Structure 1
Amino acid sequence: MMIIVTMLVLGLILGFVGAGGSGVIIAILTTVFGFSIHTALGTSLLAMVFTTISGTFSHIREGNVVPKAGAAIGAFGAVGAFAGAHIANRIPAHDLTWLTSCMLFVSALLLWGRMFLYKKQTSETDDRLNLHGVRFWVSAICLGLVTGLLSGTFGIGSTPFIQIGLLLLFGMSIRHAAGTTMLVILPIALLGGIGYLWNGYVNLTLLAEVVIGTMIGSYIGAKFTKRLPPLLLKIAMVTVPTIGGLLLLV
């Protein structure tokens, strides 16, 4: 019950920022509940499939998703995630914990720089959104493969990397970047999770507990993305991976 309640609270935050939240889930499962890093990686990544189904549906209803971009990037991301899961299987537990923590800090740093230093994206409209031509497909392939590989290897959803890519490469508003990220994460989490399941790193009981809490919380949290101030959304995007990274270093 403690795991379910904890995941419910976490799901509220993740739904709000448009994140699968695997990195934070991994940190909590390993440092608070004592599961091994590989089990936490596999279970949390597969749990994101269910979390993002709920969050994506809610974001679509709220008008926060750009379907074509999300589907294209997610498809290529799934390929990278499946390969990354097999790479993680060859990395020792201690090294994988440290590397995952570093990736979460890098995620937070990139988001902080993007959101607070440059401040190029302040509009709620997608003034530069372009979903056609060679540039769109090259950007979708590159963003999908890179973020998928990161997700599969380190068990994280790569939310900050995806959101930055959507903001910079596709010219999305902060609101649409948050919602579309949920759609991108869905196939990435599915193929990455299957990769970990293939290698025996998914705890089905734990998976059910994580899913129950995060699905309910994520659905409710997505309702606040459009209703709360954009500044609060930006701060939350940076804070979530930072907390995850700190927990893994404890």
Structure 2
Amino acid sequence: MIELLTVGLLTGFLSGFFGIGGGTILVPLLLMLGIDTKTAIGISVVQMVFGSIFGSYINHKKGTLDVAMITFIGLGGFVGASLSGFITAAFSNKTLEVFFLLFATFALVRLFMPVKEAAEPKEVKKSILFIIGIFIGMMSITIGVGGSIMLVPILVGFLHVELKRAISAGLFFVVFSSIAGLISHTLEGHVDFQRGIIIGIISLLGVYIGIHFKDKIEVTLQKKLIVIFYVFVVAYLMKRVFING
């Protein structure tokens, strides 16, 4: 119980402090505790349901959430994520860890890629938005991450959405994808609800604390710390995949 509370609090804190999805933090932490990869992914999906709904509520209260904009991408994410449990079940734990390593490496590299904002939003067919949502929902929930880290660059770079609105939309997308993913992973027996709910609830407190501390440090220091965090995650996963394996 103490381990679960600590992991949940730390996951929420780092998520709020760095502004990143809880799955990126939680899955490696659970692997370190010796939890099976597929079970770790299932627990992460439970935490994402709590975190995304809580965060989207806060964004809605602040007026930064554009529900209409994300609806079709979100519905696509729901469809794509509904397949995630079956896809996860089809791969070995080692293969899933390789996928997560590739994702963490992408997240690290993306920190050094500036996101350029355009002046005017771009109109895109709803069918295209739906297809984008399917792809991101399927790929991300399969390894237990929310997908916002993939969606935000698309919204900003290609659809010309303002960055703050894109971040809020990315989190709201996770509401759709995580709920569908929870159903799919439950059907495959990947979800430990007892541990998932404990971690999910306590992580909300961590998010609140993390956001509070985030506002008290300089952006440059925050970026250095998140780079260190991702380097640690990538190094740990490389050790699991290439040395321990």
- TM over 0.5, yes or no? yes
Matched, 1:53 2:42: no
Structure 2 runs not aligned, ≥5 long:
240-245
**Distance across 2 between alignment mates of 1:222 and 1:129:** 28
The 3 A distance-change label for structure 1 pair 229 and 211 is: same
TM-score for the superposition, normalised by structure 1: 0.82
Cα drift, residue 127 of structure 1:
3.1
The aligned residue for residue 205 of structure 1 is 194
Matched, 1:143 2:132: yes
Residue identity matched to 1:8: L
Report the number of matched residues: 238
Cα drift, residue 152 of structure 1:
2.6
Cα drift, residue 106 of structure 1:
1.7
Residue identity matched to 1:120: K
User: 1:1-36 CA deviation, whole Å, 9 max, x = no partner?
Assistant: 2322332232133235543321321110011x1100
Bigger shift: residues 236-245 or 161-170: 236-245
Matched, 1:112 2:101: no
TM-score for the superposition, normalised by structure 2: 0.84
The 3 A distance-change label for structure 1 pair 242 and 72 is: farther
The 3 A distance-change label for structure 1 pair 240 and 145 is: farther
Cα drift, residue 42 of structure 1:
1.0
* SS of alignment partner, residue 89 of structure 1: helix
Structure 1 runs not aligned, ≥5 long:
none
**Distance across 2 between alignment mates of 1:182 and 1:169:** 18
Describe how 1:150-169 pairs up with structure 2 within 5 A.
150-169=139-158
Amino-acid identity (%)? 21
2:206 paired residue among 217, 225, 243 = 217
The 3 A distance-change label for structure 1 pair 198 and 209 is: same
Tell me if structure 1 keeps the 8 A contact 2:46–2:197. Answer: no
**Distance across 2 between alignment mates of 1:142 and 1:238:** 31
2:170 paired residue among 173, 181, 185 = 181
User: 1:197-218 CA deviation, whole Å, 9 max, x = no partner?
Assistant: 1011111221022112222222
Tell me if structure 1 keeps the 8 A contact 2:45–2:182. Answer: yes
**Distance across 2 between alignment mates of 1:138 and 1:226:** 38
Cα drift, residue 40 of structure 1:
0.2
CA RMSD in angstroms, aligned pairs only: 2.7
* SS of alignment partner, residue 46 of structure 2: helix
The 3 A distance-change label for structure 1 pair 241 and 169 is: farther
Q: Which has the higher contact order (CA 8 A, sep 6+)?
A: 1
Tell me if structure 2 keeps the 8 A contact 1:100–1:245. Answer: no
* SS of alignment partner, residue 82 of structure 2: helix
Residue identity matched to 1:157: G
The aligned residue for residue 6 of structure 1 is 7
* SS of alignment partner, residue 95 of structure 1: helix
**Distance across 2 between alignment mates of 1:233 and 1:178:** 17
User: 1:184-227 CA deviation, whole Å, 9 max, x = no partner?
Assistant: 11110111121111011111221022112222222454567788
Tell me if structure 2 keeps the 8 A contact 1:8–1:216. Answer: yes
Tell me if structure 2 keeps the 8 A contact 1:42–1:201. Answer: yes
* SS of alignment partner, residue 64 of structure 1: coil
The aligned residue for residue 193 of structure 1 is 182
Cα drift, residue 56 of structure 1:
1.1
Tell me if structure 1 keeps the 8 A contact 2:65–2:165. Answer: yes
**Distance across 2 between alignment mates of 1:129 and 1:207:** 38
The aligned residue for residue 101 of structure 1 is 101
